[in-house]
């Protein structure tokens, strides 16, 4: 889930007040209330770290403040090291795995222990943050080490803008409530442990791409001119539609009937609307396709081959 300008826009006091609201209410009835509480702690502690004696300390001094939990994150992998690709409508969920090393007094299997890895763009203070819908699940591999699995869940239609097609940074957060009820308004914050670790790796978020091809006429006489048209488009997160990807180099490739290998015939550029068009001489039966190598913001894509019968 997106938190835009999380720390800059949310003071520590506001984040703590979110924690004090009963979970179902704080989450708006969301079934993953724990994750929403974890986000609130994240915002609160980030505000304190960034701004020193923030509203978190000033307004909750009488109830204490969270202590720094001794826990570190390592071996973080978002989407198995591959870019995250999102279209315009469907929800995207990608796996996140990490190792959590902690002191022996931390019980990762406790119902009041929460941890997750999120990703942010720009900086934690003024960027965008994407979380999973739920906290990570951890399995202890020793008294002080746990193997954890979570997700990053993205709703492109309301969480992304085109500027989000960029490199994102991973950070880890863990909260140990130590018997405190996160739904209570009377939390003794001295008992709550919080751990953060920044710059745990990077991942790319890309705009889903589409590519078509149509080779005509079909069938075609041997030696005659064959025209291959196509269309290269990609997700536009600003308006929730697909638009032509202009001025991009795209290869026209051919696979002879009975072969499994495509060879490149020529390279053309998409026009001002994303359209592709070129001609070749028909020689033998086979499949024609366009192939796009991708860019930093848009993944590679191949059109489905169009079979042409040569007479």
Residue ranges, CATH 2.60.40.730, the chain: 209-308
Reported as a single tens digit per residue, the pLDDT across 91-125 is 999 999 999 999 999 999 998 899 999 999 975 55
Contact 51, 58 (CB under 8 A): no
Q: In which band, very low, low, confident or very high, does the pLDDT at 217 lie, cut at 50, 70 and 90?
A: very high
CA distance 243 to 233: 5
Helices 12-20 + 33-51 axis angle, to 10: 160
| Whether residue 60 has pLDDT greater than 90 | no
Reported as a single tens digit per residue, the pLDDT across 298-308 is 999 999 999 99
Distances (CA, A) of 231 to 78, 257, 293: 31, 24, 14
In the chain, what is the straight-line distance between the N-terminal and C-terminal CA atoms, in Å?
Answer: 56
Q: Are strands 113-121 and 84-86 parallel, antiparallel or unpaired?
A: unpaired
Sign for the pseudo-dihedral over CA of 193, 132, 136, 36: positive
Contact 173, 116 (CB under 8 A): yes
Average pLDDT over residues 218-222: 95
Confidence (pLDDT) at 64? 78
CA distance 154 to 168: 14
116: Cα separation from own chain's centroid: 14
CA distance 221 to 310: 6
Torsion angle defined by CA atoms of residues 5, 7, 11 and 16, in that order, rounded to the nearest 10 degrees: 110
Burial class of residue 174, CB neighbours in 10 A (0-12, 13-18, 19+)? buried
CATH (one of 3.30.465.10, 3.30.70.2860, 3.40.30.10, 2.60.40.730) for 209-308: 2.60.40.730
Which residues on adjacent β-strands are paired with residue 130? 2, 119
The mean predicted confidence, pLDDT, of the chain is 84
Contact 231, 213 (CB under 8 A): no
Confidence (pLDDT) at 185? 77
Reported as a single tens digit per residue, the pLDDT across 139-198 is 999 999 999 999 999 999 989 999 999 999 999 999 999 888 877 778 888 898 999 899
Three-state secondary structure call for residue 224 = coil
| Whether residue 44 has pLDDT greater than 80 | no
Phi-psi region of 246 (alpha: psi -120 to 50; beta: other; left: phi over 0): beta
8 vs 227, residue with greater confidence: 227
Contact 309, 291 (CB under 8 A): no
| Whether residue 271 has pLDDT greater than 70 | yes
Average pLDDT over residues 83-97: 97
Which of 64-68, 170-174, 228-232, 265-269 is predicted with the least confidence, judged by mean pLDDT? 64-68
Say which residue the tokens 């938190």 belong to.
3
Confidence (pLDDT) at 189? 84
pTM of the predicted model as reported, rounded to 2 decimal places: 0.82
Contact 63, 186 (CB under 8 A): yes
Contact 200, 73 (CB under 8 A): yes
Q: Which of 263, 262, 255, 250 is nearest to 293 (CA)?
A: 250
CA distance 112 to 148: 16
């Amino acid at each position: 889930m997106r938190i835009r300008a999380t720390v800059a826009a949310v003071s520590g006091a506001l984040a703590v007040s979110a924690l004090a609201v009963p979970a179902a209410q704080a989450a708006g009835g969301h079934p993953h209330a724990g994750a929403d509480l974890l986000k609130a702690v994240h915002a609160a502690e980030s505000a304190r770290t960034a701004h020193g004696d923030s509203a978190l300390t000033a307004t909750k001094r009488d109830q204490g403040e969270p202590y720094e939990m001794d826990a570190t994150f390592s071996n973080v992998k978002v989407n198995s090291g591959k870019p995250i690709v999102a279209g315009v409508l469907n929800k995207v969920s990608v796996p996140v795995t990490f190792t959590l090393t902690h002191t022996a007094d931390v019980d990762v299997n406790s119902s009041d222990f929460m941890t997750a890895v999120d990703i942010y763009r720009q900086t934690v203070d003024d960027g965008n943050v994407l979380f999973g819908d739920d906290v990570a699940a951890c399995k202890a591999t020793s008294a002080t080490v746990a193997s954890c699995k979570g997700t990053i869940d993205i709703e492109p239609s309301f969480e992304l803008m085109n500027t989000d097609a960029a490199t994102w940074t991973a950070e880890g957060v863990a909260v140990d409530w130590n018997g405190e009820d996160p739904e209570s308004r009377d939390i003794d914050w001295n008992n709550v442990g919080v751990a953060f670790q920044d710059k745990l790796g990077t991942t790319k978020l890309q705009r889903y791409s589409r590519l078509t091809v149509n080779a005509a006429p079909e069938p075609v006489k041997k030696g005659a001119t064959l025209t291959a048209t196509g269309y290269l488009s990609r997700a536009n997160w600003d308006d929730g539609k697909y638009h032509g990807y202009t001025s991009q180099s795209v290869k026209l490739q051919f696979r002879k009937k009975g072969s499994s290998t495509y060879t490149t015939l020529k390279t053309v550029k998409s026009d001002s609307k994303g359209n592709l068009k070129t001609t070749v001489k028909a020689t033998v039966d086979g499949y024609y396709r366009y192939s796009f190598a991708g860019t930093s913001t848009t993944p590679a894509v191949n059109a489905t081959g169009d079979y042409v019968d040569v007479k």
